[in-house]
Structure 1
């Protein structure tokens, strides 16, 4: 079972046995309950051109059942929020951090004039369960009316609708942990039952700590942990996933284009991976130094059972971004050695790397 705050109350693996959770998730499948996600629903005949005009990615190319990763930027090129865009048969959904859903809805509605666009905030009305690992498709197929072949054919952010005990489930392909996984969106009242059935079938309940480890290993920054309202998407390295360089204008596009085409992609700082020696994972915002000079901050860090070391994401000055660059991590009065590493840390598509 899962309570509505997302904490596992029963499971075949105890929450304290983090390494076992990790091994099972990387070899089979693990489930998270994510009540912290925001969700906006858009309807109306002008939704696609409106979102295409406002967001960083190419929304017009999406057919029903397809999706993409995108962001809404302020005029200065800084991020208001990232999001997953899901085009359904009759509506478009934006999955967002819960902390940005209200602001995102208000910002987008400011740009509505005579367009036929209607926005509903579904945050709190739906439950979002994430299923991650190589056996994820098998678990989803056993619990819902969808076939595994259909699941295997979904591209990242692609979606399909099935039934669980007569309740509609929107199934969205996700690679947030680096592996082929799925997010299951259901009515909030059905979330606990769906979660309980997944555990009964042998899916391991993932603690927030292990989900964080898997996300960091995959090199995926999270808003607002690793990106916030001071972040330009290029700094976070999400441009290949979130930004179309062939579409027309959108808020903040001039700043993005200036960096890419006039500045050669050079920025003041860049999000990188960092491998850290010894001790426990440093806190967020731990200081990074090189040759006694401040060069950046840690944003997320965790111990990786798969790699046997502490891995982190953090921002460093442009000239310190190269893999192999040695840094000092200062946390709670202690200085520890770290090395900048290429992302992702681990290819979750290759089970041997997590064994």
Structure 2
């Protein structure tokens, strides 16, 4: 039996096509991936991301516990600020990538990937030390993401909260959005400006409808997992299970900025520090097809001598640029910009080259 978010009952009203996504019945698209992708790049899109997990971490040892299990430096957070981070195994591979929200002293909320909720909570419990309370609040929490250049304009119609002055990776713990209490943050997974609204499950449908209504004149459309994936991919934002996994370290994935080796010990630090010193055997790079063909996840990548050097992690035709591009985890020796490679597509070696990422960067 697939799990459903509180918004499932209204998907059909918008013509959603649903799929099994990590055990959840979720919309891959509403009006179409290209249309939804373009709306987020140019106006705004509304995503149901209520499948994501939320865990409250509190108690007098909450900070040292989070410092031990995550790679970023939680001590740098002020109340009302959040950060992107990773949890690693002792091998340096990734348990999950996540957001850490500081609600107050000794009081945090972690936002984790839907398919990893059970695994992550178990991992945290296994590594629990000191006085720490862990509460999985995923089932009572709904989350909507309003993304795109018109997001602020639309949200401002429904709230008097000071969203205009809210900086990226900051949040308001209790904003009133059309009478609904929401934790309101300004992050995003699309490469655009945008907001996340965490609300009680019972308020999700009402908030969804209010946002769509407020955004009608500003081009707001419901958006599904398909556009979410193409948007995050163009902005080179990783997806767990593709760019990150138990077999891929943060440094191999190009996420060294979120690993603070000088903060003290944390799980996986020794291996990651060794890679920092000696270099990583593999590297995540951008690739662009020189010949016709679309690189898809798990397609093998070869050097020009025919030796396999890695594989594609994500690839598609970029909806923004109409180029056939991908991210590939390959032997570091072949990671220089302009390096010629081949991607195996339906049994044939098709020419590609290493290119700079992100493929898309929004204008300030």
- TM-score w.r.t. length of structure 1: 0.88
The CA distance in 1 between the partners of 2:229 and 2:10, in whole Å, is 15
CA contact (8 A) 1:11 1:204 kept: no
The Cα offsets for residues 259-278 of structure 1, whole Å up to 9 and x where unpaired, read as: 213x1xx2111111122357
Counterpart pick for 2:242 among 203, 207, 225: 225
CA shift, 1:63, in A, is 1.3
Count of residues paired in the alignment:
342
Residue 156 (structure 1) aligned with residue 205 (structure 2): no
CA contact (8 A) 1:6 1:33 kept: no
Counterpart pick for 1:174 among 161, 168, 187: 187
Equivalent residue number for residue 20 of structure 2: none
Counterpart pick for 1:9 among 9, 12, 16: 12
Q: 1:39 to 1:198 in 2, by over 3 A?
A: same
- The DSSP-based 3-state class of the residue aligned with 2:227 is helix
Counterpart pick for 2:231 among 208, 214, 225: 214
Residue 112 (structure 1) aligned with residue 115 (structure 2): no
Range that drifts further, 43-52 or 157-166: 157-166
Residue 289 (structure 1) aligned with residue 302 (structure 2): yes
- The DSSP-based 3-state class of the residue aligned with 1:9 is helix
Equivalent residue number for residue 19 of structure 2: none
The CA distance in 2 between the partners of 1:207 and 1:334, in whole Å, is 32
The CA distance in 2 between the partners of 1:55 and 1:346, in whole Å, is 28
The CA distance in 1 between the partners of 2:205 and 2:324, in whole Å, is 33
CA contact (8 A) 1:219 1:344 kept: yes
The CA distance in 2 between the partners of 1:21 and 1:107, in whole Å, is 36
- The DSSP-based 3-state class of the residue aligned with 2:237 is coil
Counterpart pick for 1:257 among 253, 267, 273: 273
CA shift, 1:258, in A, is 1.5
Counterpart pick for 2:337 among 323, 327, 335: 323
- TM-score w.r.t. length of structure 2: 0.86
Residue 47 (structure 1) aligned with residue 62 (structure 2): yes
- The DSSP-based 3-state class of the residue aligned with 1:170 is strand
CA shift, 1:253, in A, is 0.8
Residues 271-350 of structure 1 mapped to structure 2, 5 A cutoff: 271-276=284-289, 281-291=294-304, 292-349=306-363
The Cα offsets for residues 146-180 of structure 1, whole Å up to 9 and x where unpaired, read as: 13323xx3232545431234332111221422222
CA shift, 1:134, in A, is 1.3
The CA distance in 2 between the partners of 1:51 and 1:185, in whole Å, is 22
The CA distance in 2 between the partners of 1:277 and 1:131, in whole Å, is 35
CA shift, 1:286, in A, is 0.9
Residue 140 (structure 1) aligned with residue 155 (structure 2): yes
Q: 1:283 to 1:17 in 2, by over 3 A?
A: same
The CA distance in 2 between the partners of 1:334 and 1:287, in whole Å, is 11
CA shift, 1:7, in A, is 8.1
Q: Which runs of 5+ in 1 are unaligned?
A: 351-355
The CA distance in 1 between the partners of 2:123 and 2:101, in whole Å, is 19
CA contact (8 A) 2:291 2:352 kept: no
Equivalent residue number for residue 353 of structure 1: none
Residue 269 (structure 1) aligned with residue 272 (structure 2): no
CA shift, 1:11, in A, is 4.9
The Cα offsets for residues 158-204 of structure 1, whole Å up to 9 and x where unpaired, read as: 45431234332111221422222222111122222222222222211
Counterpart pick for 1:22 among 37, 50, 61: 37
CA contact (8 A) 1:73 1:80 kept: yes
Equivalent residue number for residue 90 of structure 2: 75
Cα RMSD between the aligned structures?
Answer: 2.4
